[in-house]
Copies of this chain bind each other. A is one copy, B any other.
Amino acid sequence: MRIALAQQNYVIGDFEGNREKIISGIREARNQHADIVVFSELCVCGYAPRDFLEFNDFIEKSYESINKIAAEADGIAVIVGAPSRNENPKGKDLYNSAFFLENKKIKKVIHKTLLPTYDIFDEVRYFESNTTFETVEFKEKKIALVICEDLWNTVQYSLYVTTPMDELKKQNPDFIINISASPFDYRQATERISMLQEITSSYNLAIFYCNTIGAQTELIFDGGSLVMSPNGKVFDEMPYFSEKINFYDSDEVQKNALQSNEQAKEKIKLIHDGLIQGIADYFKKLKFTKAILGLSGGIDSAVVLCLATEALGKENVFAVLLPSEFSSEHSVSDSIGLCKNLGVEYDEISIENVFNEYLKSLTKQFAGTSFNIAEENLQARIRAGMLMAISNKKGYILLNTSNKSETAVGYGTLYGDMCGGLSVIGDVYKTDVYHLANFINQRKNIIPKNIILKEPSAELHANQKDSDSLPEYAILDKILFQYIECRKGPREIFDMGFEKNLVEQILKMVNTNEYKRYQTPPILRVSPKAFGSGRRLPIVGKYLS
């Protein structure tokens, strides 16, 4: 049997656009003599539709689209993902389903059993869990058709009491087809393969696993659709971050692959490519063209400028230098050097006059006080005011340049440098921002060396250095990683050998700055635990704070 896996990029709620893309995939697969073409989870409406699912109108539009797609299932079987209605008045209104289309009709609807509800996932919010298990019969083969998480209940990942494959195995399926919308992080492709290997070894079946690609605001999908032989060898891993249809002969896959055909998995390159996809789709899907950002002379804004230029083209990025009396001379010259290396347009606007005018207007309120965080934050807010004024005037979208380390400890100004439509590196620790800079410079020396070598500084008062307020990033990032990604408590982190006071101080900074992160722009997610919808903490609370 010839199976086509269609790895495509959808827009949430764009039923027409998604349908056109799916139909063109069906036609290509039919031309290439495929017996079945497989699309990804919830491809009809785009993943994740979130509370749009609560609108009856949205579900109706989805059904209309499925019927139009079914009309194309002629001489080829088609598997698409979409919500389906639960006819039982008890329980949630919907299932997360795979529609098996054949002979211009819906032949079978298979529902998802394991509904991820952790991190960025909220599926129980919308869907009822499936409780009946049946393979799909097609051309004398029995297919175990499952949806994404349905495979993720193994020895390594044991979040659920039910194991759908244990039920389906009883019907002696010939192979497994899985439709997924499995979000990217730098470690996900490795985990996915490891999990599928556990599945093949448990059930001795070939797997055809179709994932989506593209970014949906903060969530990035990497593709990397997989075909695995029953012996656990990767028969093929489709490329990351590109749309593609590949074709496979199921008999050949079942014969067991001898050699793994895998994509390279280098963490910094994956993060880099993920961020490019994230920026590009944010602009493309919202129909924006141009980005604006403030360039401080530091490494964070430099890296974001490089990424934006790669994602959008140098003609679509506009940099603004906003020096104050506290800006060092090299901040401006390094920034100009970077813009010239990239060939992007830039402007320089001093914030000094507006700053002084603010201080004049606030004479009464500031009387008798000395320069402190109020004046520091004011500068950051004036910069944001300038950038947003240009953004509003020209229709450019402001990119945020905060990194994960400073976002974690609240080392940033709300309504100042924390502004922007999209946070590009808010899920990248400072130490990895350096790695990204070096990765970018590997191909060509774009980022001036001085930007990489200088000591980090917010330059909001004379001779300020990040190290005045923060421990060195090499240590800070390690402690943050244990707390945020690994969810270790203070006692567990002390026991790893970090200093007690330092750990307590850092954890307190993270917890007391939840209020700032609440108002932060969406952050492109590249790690297993990003700030945003995947990490939900109370603002008012008293725990490690």
User: Which residues of A are in contact with B by a Cβ distance under 8 Å?
Assistant: 11-14, 17, 46, 48-52, 54-58, 60, 88-92, 117-118, 122, 124-125, 128, 158-161, 215-217, 281-282, 285-286, 347, 349-351, 353-354, 357-358, 360-362, 364-366, 369, 372-375, 377-378, 381-382, 384-386, 388-390, 392-394, 414-415, 419, 421, 487-492, 515, 518-522, 533, 535-545
Contacts and interface: CB of A to CB of B under 8 A. Distances in A.
B491 A57 contact: yes
29 contacts: A11-B540, A13-B543, A48-B538, A49-B538, A56-B487, A57-B488, A57-B492, A58-B489, A89-B158, A91-B159, A122-B122, A122-B536, A215-B540, A216-B540, A217-B538, A217-B540, A347-B364, A350-B361, A358-B385, A362-B390, A365-B393, A378-B389, A381-B415, A388-B414, A518-B522, A519-B519, A519-B520, A522-B539, A533-B536
A539 B217 contact: yes
A323 to B, nearest CB: 12
B541 A13 contact: yes
A393 B368 CA distance: 11
A364 to B, nearest CB: 7
B382 A385 contact: yes
Oligomer: number of copies: 2
A183 to B, nearest CB: 13
Contact of A92 (B11, B90, B159, B543): B159
Contacts of A48: 538
A540 B286 contact: yes
B372 A358 contact: no
A23 to B, nearest CB: 17
A128 B286 CA distance: 39
A489 B56 contact: yes
A140 B89 CA distance: 39
